[in-house]
Structure 1
Amino acid sequence: MDLFNSALGENITFVRPAYFIIRGFIGIPNIKYYYVFLFFVYVISVLGNTAVMAVIYLDHNLRTPKYVAVFNLAFVDLFGSSALVPKLIDIFLFEHDYIPYNDCLTFMFFCFICLSMQALNLVALSYDRLVAIIFPLHYQVKVTHRFMFSLIGSFWVFVVAVTLIAVGLLTRLSFCKSVVINSYFCDHGQVYKLACNDKTPNTVIGNLLPVLILWLPLAFILLSYLYIGYALSKVSTFRERLKAFKTCTAHLSLVTIYFLPILITFTMSANIHPNARIINLSLSSVFPPMLNPIIYVLQTQEIKVSVKKILKFKMHTKLQK
């Protein structure tokens, strides 16, 4: 982090607060029930994503490139929920809203990495569906384990690098006025807007981040499905089109759950109350990790078969004992 500061000169004095105060959800009646609700959402997220990771690990038939991406999504969901929800409950339910400066930046770093990786992981899965439907005969050649590991690995490197820059640039800011963050976590935008010195680099990266980790991934996903829809329109029979489209339903459900609340919040932000905006964004952060494993278990035939096989094996083992 000192690298950002040394480039600005040695004689600059930075006013860094000992702590920030996170004050989201102000003036909402019975809001404590919402935090209890988030706790149950978190428990389901942990159980569901752990189960999906375990099923993929235990069943060798699921160790395909597609399920490398599904495993990574479950890991990111588990990691992201664990980074965000326990701290959110601690801050608001137990009223520990004073968060030290360094802890706030660390909290922001891990939350942003996980939220960004969720979107990019959906890009990897959309590419998998695109190749599977458009180039079915070349799928085994184009989507290999090496390719999927390289793609997901490059996404991780990209997200960590971009988040490091965004968080690192915050260390050059002076906070000589308010230290109250009106959000449900240490939000990058809310933090840099509190600064009283030049925050142009932070504004630039703050405007660039949504483009890189939200709008470009969404644009790629939408274009890939437009291409898939065009290709399926050329298929002769309705039954074949339906069969091909069914392989995309799980992924489309994940895309809708992740992007739709964010799109609604951003497009209607001028017309909704700040508390409603915070609740919508908090739900868009905690709901996808809970629903993703449920959707994949219910809508993906391979995982349903694998779960039944594992349960039958355990029942058979118990009966033998």
Structure 2
Amino acid sequence: MDGKNITRITMIHLIGFKTHQSIQGLMFTFLILIYCVTICGNLLIITLVSYSKSLHSPMYFFLSQLSLSDILIVTDILPNTLHAVLFEEAMMSFSDCITQLYFFAMPEALQCFLLTVMAYDRYLAICKPLHYTLIMSHRVCWITVITFWTLSMLIELILAFGISKLQFCGPNIIDHFFCDFHPLIKLSCSDATNVELEGALFAAVLVFIPFTVIIVSYIYIVITIFNIPSVTGRQKVFSTCSSHLTVVSIYYGTMVCVYLVPSREELWNIKKFLSLLYTAVTPLLNPMIYSLRNKDLKKVVRKLVILVLNLQVKKQ
């Protein structure tokens, strides 16, 4: 095909969710509630970790970064999704579509790294307690996080740049509620093999390798826990990593269902709702899981509530 005769598409049409009009209002309310609660919940985690000296540890430092990435994901995805639900479709420019993909994929990549280092943190705390403070120093934590942010940005920038160089000459309709990698690649009328290979390579780096590290870390953790003689001791040690294990299960479980299960036309609407789980529901659940299952966080919340109540009493 002669490149000079190709008319590049400039607008992307997102179909969103094909829902009955009777439940559009309900779904809109549900999503906006998720958005507000997610932002408030994750901001609360970041505030608590910054405010309380008792939470100035590597685990909570990485948790605050996880909360920041959750805020980026829902802010990138949900406003446009709300528009698509309300008006049954959404239009955006091609450049905006690429930008949305980048600011979705970048914090998702960051979360894979963060969940990995959080598993390693639990491994060190449980299996190598004498070396923990030496390895997980304040300086090492900051270097690790900066490295993860930089890697995530660069990897997704390379992918976004590769997609932007493809020819898109129509159609311009994506049967999804946001600009995801595979639905966007399907619109290309040029050879996208190299970009797809890049995507597969980065998926291996960002998903398979981190997940393997997490599994290996927990194998060692489980072995160490079973070597603890008392049942109370086992339960106490396991409780320190149960929140992280729950988040990992939800996060990787939904990702596997969306990206690794073969796509079928009749199952696409189900996969769209699964996509909604890890783009909207998982960021909502993360602060709840850590808050409800973590004694340290609950203590700080109680102290903060008592402080606010005392201030209100003094004002009166």
Distance 1:143 1:205, change over 3 A: same
Tell me the CA shift for residue 277 of structure 1.
0.8
- Alignment length (residue pairs): 311
Answer yes or no: is 1:84 the counterpart of 2:57: no
Cα distance in structure 1, aligned partners of 2:198 and 2:143? 26
Specify the code of the residue in structure 1 equivalent to 2:245. L
Contact 1:167 1:188 in 2 (8 A): no
Deviation at 1:312, TM superposition (A): 1.2
Write out the 4+ residue segments of structure 1 that deviate beyond 3 Å after TM superposition.
Answer: 11-15, 26-31, 264-272
Q: Does 1:285 align with 2:268?
A: no
Say whether the 8 Å CA contact 1:16–1:174 is kept in structure 2: yes
1:283-316 CA-partner distances (Å, limit 9, x unpaired)? 2211111111111111111111111111112222
2:142 aligned to 131, 142, 149, which one?
149
Q: What's the Cα RMSD here?
A: 2.0
Aligned-residue offset at 1:89: 0.9
Structure-2 change in CA distance of 1:210 and 1:165 (3 Å): same
Where in structure 2 are the equivalents of 1:34-183 lying within 5 Å?
Answer: 34-95=27-88, 97-183=90-176
Residue correspondence of structure 1 range 219-230 to structure 2 within 5 A:
219-230=212-223
* TM-score normalised by structure 1 residue count: 0.90
The answer to whether 1:319 aligns with 2:313 is yes
Partner residue of 2:297 out of 292, 300, 303? 303
Looking at structure 2, the residues matched to 168 and 31 of structure 1 have their Cα atoms a distance apart, in angstroms, of 38
Q: How much has 1:144 moved relative to structure 2? A: 1.1
State the 1:63 CA deviation: 1.7
Aligned counterparts of 1:270 and 1:19: Cα–Cα separation in 2: 25
Q: 1:123-169 CA distances to partner (integer Å, 9 max, x unpaired)?
A: 12111101000111221111111111111111111111110011101
Question: 1:17·1:179 contact (CA, 8 Å) conserved in 2?
Answer: yes
Q: Which amino acid aligns with 2:239?
A: K
Distance 1:24 1:107, change over 3 A: same
Query: Is 2:18 aligned against 1:26?
Result: yes
- Aligned mates of 2:257, 2:93 — CA distance in 1: 32
Q: CA deviation at 1:28?
A: 6.0
Residue pair 1:189, 1:206 contacting (<8 A) in 2 also: no
Shift of 1:31: 5.4
After TM superposition, give the deviation of residue 29 of structure 1 in Å: 6.9
C-alpha distance in 2, partners of 1:166/1:92? 28
- Deviations along 1:44-76, one digit per CA (max 9) or x if unpaired, are 101111111111111122122221101111111
Work out the CA distance in 1 between the residues paired with 2:263 and 2:99. 30
Deviations 1:231-276 (A, max 9, x none): 2222222222221111111111111221112223445445661111
Deviates more, 1:26-35 or 1:171-180: 26-35
Deviation at 1:22, TM superposition (A): 1.1
Tell me if structure 2 keeps the 8 A contact 1:66–1:125: yes
Question: Which residue identity does 1:258 align to in structure 2?
Answer: Y
Gaps of at least 5 residues in structure 2 are none
Give the TM-score normalised by the residue count of structure 2. 0.92
Matched with 1:276 is: 270
Q: Which amino acid aligns with 1:176?
A: C
Give, in whole Å, the separation in 1 of the partners of 2:23 and 2:207: 29
